[in-house]
Structures are given as C-alpha cells and as structure tokens.
Structure 1
Amino acid sequence: MKRTRLTAALTAAVLAVGGLVATATTAQAADQELAVNGGFEAGLTGWSCSAGSGAAVTTPVHGGTSALKATPSGGDNAKCTQTVTVKPNSAYTVSGWVQGGYVYLGVSGTGTTDAYNWTPSASSWQKLSTTFRTGASTTSVTLYTHGWYGTAAYHADDLSLFGPGGAPIEIPATPTGLTAGSPGSTSVPLNWSAVPGATGYKVYQGTRVIPVTGTSTVVTGLTAATSYSFQVSATNGAGESAKSAAVTAETTSGGTPGTALPPHALVGYLHSSFANGSGYTRMADVPDSWDVINLAFGEPTSVTSGDIRFSLCPVTECPNVESVAEFKAAIQAKQAAGKKVLISIGGQNGQVQLSSTGARDAFVTSVSKIIDEYGLDGLDIDFEGHSLSLNTGDTDFRSPTTPVVTNLIQAVKTLKAKYGAKFILTMAPETFFVQLGYQFYGSGPWGGQDPRAGSYLPVIHALRDDLTLLHVQHYNSGPIMGLDNQYHTMGNADFHIAMADMMLTGFPVAGNQSRIFPPLRADQIAIGMPASTQAGNGHTAPADVNKTLDCLTKKTNCGSYQTHGTWPALRGLMTWSINWDRYNQWQFSRNFDAYTW
C-alpha cells in the first residue's frame, strides 16, 4: 500500500506556525481523501507546477515508488498546486511529507484564514500538517507546496487534503472579450473577461503557453515590427476550457536607434539646478561613460501642490552654467549618441506628497511640461524622507489605499500611457523604504518601528511592469537585515550583495509568508552607490564594487553572504553623482568602464 491515511482516524494536533494556531478536528463519516494523486504515482497528473519546476522522481520517496521533486530558480519558488472541491463551513486537514530546505505546505482560497506549515530545513522526510475551515460560500480551495527562490530542490510525497467532499468542479467556459492593448516594440498587453469557476488562465502565443492568475498580462520577449496572434483558455481543477477567439497585434518598430538601454548601464545624477562642493558640470562635459543622466532636481512649489518646476542653476551660484539653449542642444547630442536624459523629481530637499487628486493632476501636467520643454526620455522618482508615509489602514503592499501612494501610482501610469513604450521610468528609494520592509511594513506592534519602513514597496509593485530601473540607494543607511537574517552594514560588498539579492529573489514583507514581495527582473536592477567619500556615507572602494558585480553576475568572489541565484543580466550601477565622480577624478565611472561582465 502507498500509505494508510485513507482509513486512518485523524488525531488532534495543535500547530503554531508563523503566528497561525490551528487545531485538528475529528473526522466525520463523510470525510474522505480529496487530493488527487497526492503520492505522485501518476506523475504530475492533477498538479500544476510553476515555470515547469516540478517532476515525478523515483528517489527519494516517502512511500510507494514516486515523489515530487521541484526546483526553484532565482525568480520562481517552484510552487505546485491542485484545485480541490470542498464544502462551505467545513473543517479540513492538510498533511504531507517533505524533504529539503524551505518547504511550504498549505492551502489558499479558504474564504476564512488560509493555512500553511513550513520547515526551513528537513534533511530527511518530515511531516507537515495544518487545519482550516472553509467560509460560508467556499466551494474550492488550492492545495499547494513550494520552496524558496534560488534555493535547492525540495521533495514532497503523500500529500493529503482530508475532509467532506464538495460537488464536482466543472471545466470552465471559454473566455471571451480578449483584447490587445497598445503594443510596445517587444511586448503586447492583453485583457479578457473573467470566467466563473476559473482558478487560472493560459495565454497561447505560437508554441508558448503562459500561465496567468488574473484576467490580464503583458506578453514580453517579442520581436519588433512583427504581427502576433494570441488566444486564452480558462483552467481549474477539472481541466482546461477551449481556447478563445484569436486576437492579433503588431509590435512597434522600436523607435529611433538607441531607444533601449545597453545590457549593462551606468546611471548618474547631474546637479543641474543647484551648486554644492562638487562644482557645476555642464551637460556637454558629461563623459560617454554615462548611459542614463538624471537631472537633479525637479522640485515642488510646495510639499502638497504636486506642481513641479525645473530650472538651471543660477549663474550667481554656478558661474560656468550653460545657457538654456546650450543645455537643450547638449541633451539632444547625448540622445543622438544613445544616452537617456531624465528629469529626477524630489531629492533630499524636494519633498513631494500627492495627497489629493488635484496634486496628482498637477504633477502630471507639470512633469509633462518639463519633459516636453527639454525633450527628455522619462522620469526618475527620487522621493525621500516623508514623501511617502503610510497610514494605519495600509498593511498590504498589494492593495494600498493611502492617497500619497495611490495618487503617485496613478500619476506615473498616466505619464507612461502618454509617452508610450519609449518612456523610461526609474526609481531611487532609500533602503529604509524598500528592504527594511522585510522586517517592518505598515502599522502594527513593531516595537516602535517607524511605520514608513518599506513604504516604497506598493509603488514598486504596482509599477513593476512599467519600471525600467530600480536603483535603491545603498548609502546613507543604517544596518539592514538580509535574507540570511543577519544585519549588514553599508560600504562593503556584502551589503550591496545582500540588498540586491532581496530584490532579485523576493522576500516576505514584515515576515508574513502569505505576503511575498515578488522579485524584479535582473535587467530592472541597478545598485546605487556614492561616487566619492564626500558624496554620502557608505562609499565603496572599487575592489568591493567589483566583488559585488562578480558575486551577483558570476557567483564568484562572494563574501560571507550566499546569494539565492546568479544574475548575468544585472543592469548595472547608479551613483550619486556625476559631479562628485568628476570631483574624485572619475574613479567610479572609470572603474565601471574597465569592469569585464
């Protein structure tokens, strides 16, 4: 026999995992095994594993002759799922045997409190179990197991969901309303109508099959100036519907040469509107090393006005400042050479809070005016300090309600829609507002911790499909805990590696395993560093800069921190600033130019 759980009586158990307390209930006469192929004796029949991560293997097994082996990647946690029919207002028990590091077993869609159990390390077969109760209208739940991004493969066997059986699930209807939005040069956005009873969808493009959980997606990796056909089907535990009627869309030509960033780019801020100890640098004097030049800064007329203004540094402060005409001509020359020039909004002194729809609309209007006047390529968001502040109602980065957050998201999406695929969007938050969300986010009993910690996460998450680059400022920061649960201090390779690894791997927000901040693509990540000791706390010596790049892109020259993957497509570095790099004899940019990727 594979196992005896089908006839065994349930025993009482009390579990306390991640703050969840679950008490097992006694099985009733109507209780039965509901998981299909929980022992994987029929391969992956009944199961769906993300990114093709799962396979049935013959060793090791807990019982019978087969078990599940699932292998996470840097951007995927190897989640294997099965939809199970259940009855409303009923008690159920989930159990199974696992082996490996970071293995989770749980259930979602319960209509009450979703339940899970996990182990950070199981060198031999270990049993996980938990219980849950369905809501008043719940008729199906999703049984799942998964590992952790970039870690070793895990094994699972003899998975069980035990309790009263529900009505059979019917295959969902064929989706309707499939439409294509405005294509980019390499992507096409798709939308369709929801199908009752569907738990997921599959988008078909040629031989590609793309699993989707919602009713929209952006198909990427396409070729410019090419026509594509798309279809979508609906799925649930009973199977897959027929494919929808096809919709066609043609990608754009990609615009003028040099629209895309190079595979590895150097981003720098140019002090165009103010003077400091670094001295003024004319746009025409910026070396070709810099692929993205952020004009620092566009600043608000008041904190809450949303009205952004930009002008060149006054001649009384910057005697060598160029004329506006010379400045615009230099921007055009940079763009002709394939460089991108953006307006950066905010900075240390430019506090911006879009707390009203009026401020939101003023932001869009005024930023558009700056972009149009100077012929710029996009926008850099450098909100610092109190520009983003969460109220006690925001505890989930996936669904923010605070106006300063939602208005910013809406404003940026409006700008993106106005300028299209060529619009470049970058962000430069501080580690406090991003990585510190691993420990603290929103309101709650955080021991006095500032509730603004991690407050950039809802903005980054909402705009991740529009985001060209995220270059978190790895400077002027206190110690931050990495995914190794160790604190790392700025100014060395380990700090940069640990902070970047979090964005490339994903992490549970405020330690809540049900709220995982998904990883960004490697080509969306650049690492922010000060160009000199005068530019900010946390200056990193060139040798440590190179160690950082070696470890993240090649998995060599790593220090004490062990990454969860290797990312050759890491976009590059950002520095504050071009002016300070010039002051420091161009040490930062020359080191970047000399680095071998």
Structure 2
Amino acid sequence: MPSPRLMNAALASVAALGLGLTGLVALGGGASADTTNLVVNPGFETGSLANWNCAAGTATVSTTTVHSGSHALAATPTSSDDAQCTQTISVQPNSSYTLSAWVNGPYVYLGTQGDGTTDVSTWSSTNAWNQLTTSFKTGASTTSVTIYLHGWYGQSTYYADDVVLSGAAGSSPSPTQSSSSSPSASASASASPSASASSSPSASSSSSPSPTATSTGGTGGKPKHWVTGYWQDFDNGATDQKISDVNGQYNLIAVAFANADAAGDGGITFSLDSTLQGKLGGYTDAQFKADIAAKQAQGKKVILSVGGQNGTISITNAAQATAFANSAYAIMQQYGFNGVDIDLENGLNPTYMASALHQLAAKAGSGFILTMAPQTIDVLSASSDYLATALQVKDILTIMNTQYYNSGSMNGCDGGVYSEGNVDFITSLACTAIQAGLSPNQVGIGVPASSRAAGSGYVSPSVVENALNCLAKGTGCGTFKPSTTWPTIGGVMTWSTAWDASNGNEFANNEGAFTNAMP
C-alpha cells in the first residue's frame, strides 16, 4: 500500500491480516480443601454440561479423555465456530481472582469477559493435559464475570477439566448458577467471545476468527466474511474522512499506518497526522478513540496497519520481536484497536515476525484480529516470505488479503501464467494460498477502490463478484476453475475507504454489500 504521507494519489496501494484466544487454568485436579471454587460443575462430573452454555451442537461430556474424575468437557470447533463454552459467576467488586483449568487439544483458549478492568486470557496448543492459569481484579461495580473456554476454527476436538475460579463469592446467585441444570438448557447456543464482550474501549475479550484477544472490546461475533477497508491517516487527494465517516458495509477497518520507532529496535509508533486533523476541522485523539469505540459497538473491528509501501519496520531477532509485540500492544490499549494488520512491502523474516505476532496475540487475548496484505510476489509459494509467515501464524491469523494490483503477471496454483485485472488472476492466486495450507476463510481478495487508488489492477465490481462466486460456488469462473469450491472464502479488501468515498462508495455498495450477503 502507499506510504502514509509520501505516496501521491495516483500511486496509492493497500494492506491487511487475525485469531481469538482465551484461557483458564485449574489448580491440580481441582480446588484444594482450603480453596473456594466458584465454578459450578467444574469437572463436568454431573455427566452433563449443566451450568455451562456451549455453542449448539459443538460440545459434549467425555468419559475417555479426562484429567481427573470420570468426566471432562469435549468440544469440537467447525469451520465457522470455535466451540465456546461459558459460565457466568457472581463475584465481588474490587476483588482479586485466579482462574485456572486443565486443557488438552490443538488450540484451547481460556479467559474472562466483563471483569470491569482488563479481561484476561491465556491459551495452549498441546495434545496432552496441561494447566493454564491467569488472574484478574474486578472493577468497582462488577458483580459478575463470564469465564470461557474455546478451541479454534476448523481444528480438532479440545478437552477441558477441573476449572477453578478462586476468590470471594458474590452476594447473589450467578445467572448461570441459578439456571436449569438440565443438559438441554445448558447446551443451548451461546455468543462467541466477541459477541458477549463489552463494547467499551476498555473491554478486552471480544472474539475473532483467530485465537487471540484484545484489550479493546467491540461487540458482535466473527462475520461469515470480512469486508476490509483501509482508513488513511493522511491526505493525498482522496476524500478526507473521520472513522465515523467510513461506510457501514465495512466490518473491518484498518488504520494506516504505524511506523518504526526512532530507536529502530523493532518497536512501532502511531499518532494522528496533524495535516489530516486540520483538514477534518481538528480531529482530536479523544474523538478518534470515541469513533473507534462507536464502530466496535456496531459490531465492527478496527485495527492498526503496520508499515505501508514505504514502511521500514525490521524484525530480525528475538529482541526486536519482543519490542514489536510490546509497542503494538501498548498502542492497542491506548486507542482501543482490536488488533494489527501487517503490510510490510520490503520483506519480512518469517521466524521472528511469527514470534512477534504470537507474543502480541498472547498479550491481547481473545478477540485479537490479525490481518496481512502481501503483494502477489510475496505469496507465490509456501516458501515465499509472506506466505511462510502466514502459515506460521495460521493459529492466530484472521485473514490474508493479497493485493491483486500493482502487479505483473504471476503463476497460479495450476502453473499457468495470469495477468492482473481479471477473474483468473485472482482465483488462481487465491488457490495457491489455500493449497499451501491456509484455511479458505483466511484468504481474501484485495483490490483498489478506484482507478486512481493504485497504479494498476483496478477491476469492476463484477470481476470481484465473479471471483468470489468462482471460489465459493464454482460459478463465474474464467478459464481457470478450481478443482473444489470454498464456500467460506474470507472476503474482500480495498485501498482505501477514502478513495472509495471519492468514487461514490462503489466498492462498499457493490463488492462490500455482495460479500456481506454471501451465505
């Protein structure tokens, strides 16, 4: 994508990338004699899901894979559901609590929602029993907290046992504790982590399509498909916008861009561009943050894009990876962002960038959004730096929106050579990413919002819609037709919402509306 302040209107380009995690921990096989466990049915020894609310059809009780006793939770995610189970528990305000659980599975996330301070989470990916633990303090007016466990989209069954929440009991029965304990009542569908989380900027466990959590919040679960638009934090001739001005069809807004810090140690910085602030009549930090929170309250996600065309952030060692994670998390907390987008167009180191992103995901927790926006040259094979990175962070990746523009001819997954600007170019390269190992819902289509937004590669809405139909249903294809269909294809992305506004919101009203209406 174009650099924040150096790219002119004719050369503007794009970027984007996510996972939801949460975690609990148990104290050994259960609470000790002198520990008060506030969780009801903590080891599922009732032989049912009594007092737990689990996503419909995803959870049961196992008698074969258990940590202690004779029962444990067994929940199986699908391609569109992370198999979350929750329990709401009465607590005391201004009090300290420890949450724990024993878990077993490819990805298991455990954590809290509605702490009143900063929701917490942790996760593991071990096909053997291991203990997760976290702690938190409730807010001044907090009287109940929701604890949760979930797996990850498309992964195999996870198990949980001996869940413990220790601390002062609340003064009134918990909603979950006082509900019917029949299996049918307790197994009813529950909201995803993000759906049930607070929408205030201080909340931290909204869920996303990947195992991570933010300290920001936002309501609404993972959409079936993402419509991503980049919001420009600079003026380059496109329509100047506040976050509140972004068209409602966009369910994921990437704020462009964060830059390398002055130390060059892997850390990043972000602040609103003063020129843009002036053109918007004095767009203050406070209003910017309020606009982000308002979008999140509508179920949208707002993330920070790192880099851009001229971005020079370098993550090539462990210290830089940690600096990146720490600085990115601090900015997320400061502004209320749901996650980050990686748009580094001058190369990246898969090993250390993956380490940085996993560290950030662990800090952020459930609801963390991670997107990427590689150039086509960077995703031609599983060994290409961007695609290699995406595969290493597949467990926390929300979506990778390849920039199908400003590109020469490229090889598709069938070995054919395709030129940009048509259905075949998009579908054959999207096929490459899926065949390399990304889930279809982690693969998106990035195009310019208008002919002015990029040097080349603008296509009409019908081309994008045909490409989506080809990938999802096998219709609308060109000469290349995938050997199978991917109904959960991730979605679409554009550079930028400002250029889209300058073009009568053509992208939002056509590609955006079309994608949001896809089954």
TM value normalised by structure 2: 0.59
Residue 193 of structure 2 is matched in structure 1 by: 254
Question: What is the alpha-carbon distance in structure 2 between the residues aligned to residue 261 and residue 365 of structure 1?
Answer: 26
Q: Counterpart of 2:14?
A: none
Change over 3 Å in CA distance of 1:413–1:324 after alignment to 2: same
Query: Where in structure 2 are the equivalents of 1:291-440 lying within 5 Å?
Result: 291-301=251-261, 304-315=264-275, 318-320=278-280, 321-385=282-346, 387-388=347-348, 404-435=349-380, 437=381
Secondary structure of the corresponding residue to residue 417 of structure 1: helix
Residue of 551, 561, 576 corresponding to 2:480:
561
Structure 2 contact 400–442 (Cα < 8 Å) conserved: yes
The within-5 A match list for 1:142-541 is 179=104, 182-183=108-109, 189-192=124-127, 220=153, 228=160, 254-257=193-196, 258-272=219-233, 274-301=234-261, 304-315=264-275, 318-320=278-280, 321-385=282-346, 387-388=347-348, 404-435=349-380, 437=381, 441=383, 454-504=384-434, 506=435, 517-518=436-437, 520-536=438-454, 537-541=456-460
Identity among equivalent positions (%) equals: 34
Deviation at 1:255, TM superposition (A): 4.2
| Residues 457 and 313 of structure 1, relative CA distance in 2, 3 Å threshold | same
- Residues 1:271 and 1:593: Cα distance change in structure 2 (over 3 Å): closer
Give secondary structure in 2 for the equivalent of 1:421. coil
1:546 positional shift: 1.5
Q: 2: distance between equivalents of 1:483 and 1:222?
A: 25
1:221 Cα offset (Å): 5.9
Structure 2: distance between partners of 1:377 and 1:289: 18
Distance in structure 2 (CA, Å) of the matches to 1:298 and 1:554: 37
Q: Which residue of 1 aligns with 2:504?
A: 585
Cα distance in 2 for partners of 1:553, 1:346 equals: 31
* One-letter amino acid of the structure 2 residue matched with residue 379 of structure 1: V
| Structure 2 contact 340–369 (Cα < 8 Å) conserved | yes
The 1:284–1:561 alpha-carbon spacing in structure 2 relative to 1, beyond 3 Å, is same
- Specify whether residues 366 and 523 from structure 1 end up closer, same or farther in structure 2 by C-alpha distance, changes over 3 A only: same
Displacement, 1:256? 4.2
Q: Which runs of 5+ in 2 are unaligned?
A: 1-101, 112-121, 130-149, 163-189, 197-218
In structure 2, relative to structure 1, the CA distance for the partners of 1:555 and 1:179 (3 Å cut) is: closer
Q: Quick one: distance in 1 between partners of 2:262 and 2:481?
A: 45
Residues 510-564 of structure 1 deviation map (CA, whole Å, 9 limit, x = unaligned):
xxxxxxx32x212212111111101111001112112111211111121101212
**What is the Cα deviation at residue 192 of structure 1?**
4.7
What residue ranges of structure 1 are gaps of 5+ in the alignment?
A: 1-176, 195-216, 231-250, 389-403, 442-453, 507-516
Q: Distance in 1 between matches of 2:276 and 2:256?
A: 18
- The root-mean-square deviation of aligned C-alpha atoms, in Å, is 3.1
| Distance in 2, Cα, partners of 1:565 & 1:253 | 29
Q: Residue 483 of structure 1: CA displacement?
A: 2.2
Give the conservation status (yes or no) of the 8 Å contact 1:188–1:218: no
1:579 and 1:381 mapped to 2: Cα distance?
A: 20
The amino acid that maps onto 1:459 is T
TM superposition shift of 1:182: 4.9
1:280/1:318 contact within 8 Å kept: no
Q: Is the 8 A contact 1:351 1:383 kept in 2?
A: yes
Which residue in 1 is equivalent to 2:204?
none
For 2:193, give the aligned amino acid. Answer: G
The 1-side partners of 2:369 and 2:262 are apart by 26
Q: Aligned in 2, Cα 1:562/1:193: closer, same or farther, shift over 3 Å? A: same
* Cα deviation digits, residues 401-421 of structure 1 (max 9, x gap): xxx332211111011111112
Q: Retained in 2: the 8 A contact 1:498–1:563?
A: yes
Residue 498 of structure 1, CA deviation: 0.9
Structure 2 distance, partners of 1:222, 1:358, is 31
Residues 329 and 433 (structure 1), Cα distance of their counterparts in 2 relative to 1, 3 Å cut: same
Provide the rounded CA distance (Å) in 1 between the counterparts of 2:419 and 2:475.
21
For residue 574 of structure 1, give the secondary structure of its aligned residue in structure 2.
strand
**Relative to 1, partners in 2 of residues 1:361 and 1:475: Cα closer, same or farther, differing over 3 Å?**
same
1:578 aligned partner, one-letter code: T
SS of 2:360's equivalent in the other structure is: helix
Contact 1:189 1:219 in 2 (8 A): no
Amino acid at match of 2:426: H
Matches of 1:485 and 1:192, distance apart in 2: 37
Give 1:458 deviation, angstroms: 2.3
Which deviates more from structure 2 when the two are superposed, residues 294-303 or residues 342-351?
294-303
Q: How many residues are matched?
A: 333
Alpha-carbon distance in 1 for matches of 2:307, 2:387: 18
- Letter matched to residue 328 of structure 2: V
Contact 2:103 2:161 survives alignment (8 Å): no
Q: 1:253 to 1:497 in 2, by over 3 A?
A: closer
Matched, 1:545 2:464: yes
User: Does the 8 Å contact 1:494/1:561 carry over to 2?
Assistant: yes
Relative contact order (alpha carbons < 8 A, sep ≥ 6): 1 or 2 greater? 2
Q: Which residue does the alignment assign to 2:92? A: none
